[in-house]
Structure 1
């Protein structure tokens, strides 16, 4: 007998018929003797519907009330799924994040999980029940409902698995695993049988939409085996784990190509080249909860320099408004932005032990006359900022350059 935590995304529970299909799947696992904890998203489109209602009332709704509103989507799903399980003779009990108690900080719409009380879930599991938990939500120490940000149900599922010390956390979605890149962009993209937490974290942070970044962080921190599976067809999916010393991994330089269309570039021109200038520019950006990604500072000329960084496209105007005040204080000359950029990244643990990876990447882009505007690297990643119009061409050329179109060699 194993303890599985399963998470079902919005498309997996998007209709009553799909909820019934999920209930069938859970019933099968339960019949095999497994303990089951289920985390679910709102039905597909529901969160957007609720956000639309909010925007029809106010252009700037209070974050606390927004969390109260959007958290109701998952409450519908947990109730319907439990009803479907009861119909199949399976005992089940639903819990909101508040009822579990998934304790978070008080950062409304972007809360982080601090602790989970597993006592009620343990009692239900011991009584033979399936536990169904609303994803995406929690409660702060003052009893306010909080939400974890888009994709937060993934984080709920992994956090539950960590707290309960589950044997595996299974993320059911509309794709059958993690691919070398988005199959909608590259028809020859392949499903990966396994990938390390480190690689998956880089791919998620660089734009892969399969899993939310925080869910991968949780899984890696607590060593929760994580498997991405399809709700709509059977298959082994992709296993994400700590293991990276497998001999086959040494043969693979790059595991995948990630990309992000949601980037915008901000440049502060003519910054006085003095100690602390960069901190004075970026500190208020961080305090406004705007995430900064790639950062480049040019070589000083005439005792001034240009500082360029990327933010999410939705945050660019907010960032510029903040910077105007800071730059006036610093005496910087100007602020410019460009929202027509994209980020493309190559990721792979094999990059640690292979030379020439960067030159292969840059040559592939140069052969397509794609100009690189910014570069950032880590041990297992190289990311570049390019014009958005060249994004798909860049992904296809890199996918081919690193041999990701070819099927992996069979083991002897």
Structure 2
């Protein structure tokens, strides 16, 4: 008997018919003798509506009240799925994050999971009951509801799988696995049978929407085997595993893109020790994540500092930086939300030269200008104009030989 965590995303539970389909799939695993826990997202579109209401009332809203509002979507889904399971003869009970509890830190809107008290869930699972757990939410140090950030239900599922010592965490979504790139942009994209934690982490961090970044990070740290499957088709998905389980390592495994980027440039910043700490320390304190960073030093003792933040964090970042203008001493702040990040990822980069040149040449041949470049051991990312996103993805997918055979 295996112990499984099954996670269903928003499109998988978008309406009552799909919830019934999910219940049937869960029942199949229960009847096969497995001990099953389920994690669910809010129904498709619900969280977006809740977020929109918060933003319309106040763009710089209280993050604690934001969490109170947006966590309600998952509560509805847990109750509905528990009812659907009970209706077809499966013993089930809904659980909210605070009932288990899933304890988190106090970073409202982007909380990190600290501990999950799993004893009661394990006891229920041992007698055949299926816990239906609300993803995306937890309980902060002040006993207030917290949320884990967009896509946080993936993180909830992996964290629960680690706490329950599950044999596998199955993530059911609207795609049937991990592809070399977005098949909606490149019809010749190929589905991967397996991908390493490290590659999946890089792809998730640079825009691939299949799995949330922190969920992959946690899976790698805890050794949780993750499988990405379709909710709508009964066929094998993609296993996310340790690199040692992959025999043939591709030079490039995938091309990812993100339109959720904004570029910030600080002009004529004094070139002295402590300035970067003042800039990025303030952003960190406001829970604004900074990604790509470029600095150009001028002969006159000043520097231009360019970096990217999430587009949703741009207003908050501008507010923090304007408050720090006197301390930092920059002359001008330029915000540019019209950019996109394109990345190529592959563990094979460690042992092959010329990967970057292939990227730059392919983009240049199509007249696409590169604004910022950043690299890691298995990833190269560039910032380009947003309108060139699809052209860039198609060009790079072909340039690295990732197109599926006709």
TM over 0.5: yes
Q: 1:241 Cα deviation (Å)?
A: 0.9
For these two proteins, the number of residue pairs brought into alignment is 406
Aligned to 1:270: 268
Distance 1:256 1:109, change over 3 A: same
Distance 2:328 2:212 in 1: 37
Aligned to 1:359: 357
Distance 2:114 2:133 in 1: 17
Secondary structure at 1:339's aligned position in 2? strand
Distance 1:127 1:46 in 2: 33
The equivalences for 1:315-326 within 5 A come to 315-326=313-324
Give 2:259's match in structure 1, choosing from 241, 258, 261.
Answer: 261
Stretch of structure 1 that moved more, 298-307 or 349-358: 298-307
The equivalences for 1:180-219 within 5 A come to 180-219=180-219
Give 2:304's match in structure 1, choosing from 303, 306, 327.
Answer: 306
RMSD: 1.6
Q: Does the aligned pair in 2 maintain the 1:281–1:327 contact within 8 Å?
A: no
Distance 1:59 1:268 in 2: 23
Distance 1:382 1:24, change over 3 A: same
Aligned to 2:143: 143
Structure 1: 5+ residue stretches without partners? none
Aligned to 1:230: 230
Q: 1:287 Cα deviation (Å)?
A: 1.1
Aligned to 1:50: 50
Q: 1:330 Cα deviation (Å)?
A: 3.6
* 1:5-57 deviation line (CA, Å, top 9, x unaligned): 01001110111111100011011111111110000011112222333444565
Secondary structure at 2:288's aligned position in 1? coil
Secondary structure at 1:360's aligned position in 2? helix
The equivalences for 1:112-151 within 5 A come to 112-151=112-151
Aligned to 1:73: 73
Distance 2:289 2:278 in 1: 16
* 1:193-240 deviation line (CA, Å, top 9, x unaligned): 110110011001101111111111110110100010000001111100
Secondary structure at 1:248's aligned position in 2? coil
Work out whether 1:281 is the aligned partner of 2:279.
yes
Distance 1:188 1:31, change over 3 A: same
Q: Does the aligned pair in 2 maintain the 1:197–1:216 contact within 8 Å?
A: yes
Secondary structure at 1:81's aligned position in 2? helix
Q: Does the aligned pair in 1 maintain the 2:271–2:297 contact within 8 Å?
A: no
Structure 2: 5+ residue stretches without partners? none
Distance 2:259 2:352 in 1: 29
Give 2:367's match in structure 1, choosing from 366, 369, 382.
Answer: 369
Q: 1:246 Cα deviation (Å)?
A: 3.2
Distance 1:152 1:49 in 2: 17
Stretch of structure 1 that moved more, 173-182 or 134-143: 134-143
TM-score between both structures, scaled by the size of structure 2: 0.96
TM-score between both structures, scaled by the size of structure 1: 0.95
Distance 1:355 1:79, change over 3 A: same
Q: Does the aligned pair in 2 maintain the 1:135–1:153 contact within 8 Å?
A: yes
* 1:152-195 deviation line (CA, Å, top 9, x unaligned): 11110000000111000000000101111111111111111110
Secondary structure at 2:224's aligned position in 1? coil
Aligned to 1:389: 387
Aligned to 1:15: 15
Aligned to 1:339: 337
* 1:341-390 deviation line (CA, Å, top 9, x unaligned): 11100000011011110111111111111111111000000000111111
Distance 2:316 2:122 in 1: 45
Secondary structure at 2:132's aligned position in 1? strand
Q: 1:317 Cα deviation (Å)?
A: 3.1
Secondary structure at 1:99's aligned position in 2? coil
Distance 1:46 1:298 in 2: 44
Work out whether 1:32 is the aligned partner of 2:19.
no
Stretch of structure 1 that moved more, 66-75 or 376-385: 66-75
* 1:295-352 deviation line (CA, Å, top 9, x unaligned): 0011332211111111112222332232234333343222222221111000000110
Secondary structure at 2:251's aligned position in 1? coil
Distance 1:212 1:402 in 2: 25
Stretch of structure 1 that moved more, 304-313 or 318-327: 318-327
Q: Does the aligned pair in 1 maintain the 2:195–2:246 contact within 8 Å?
A: no
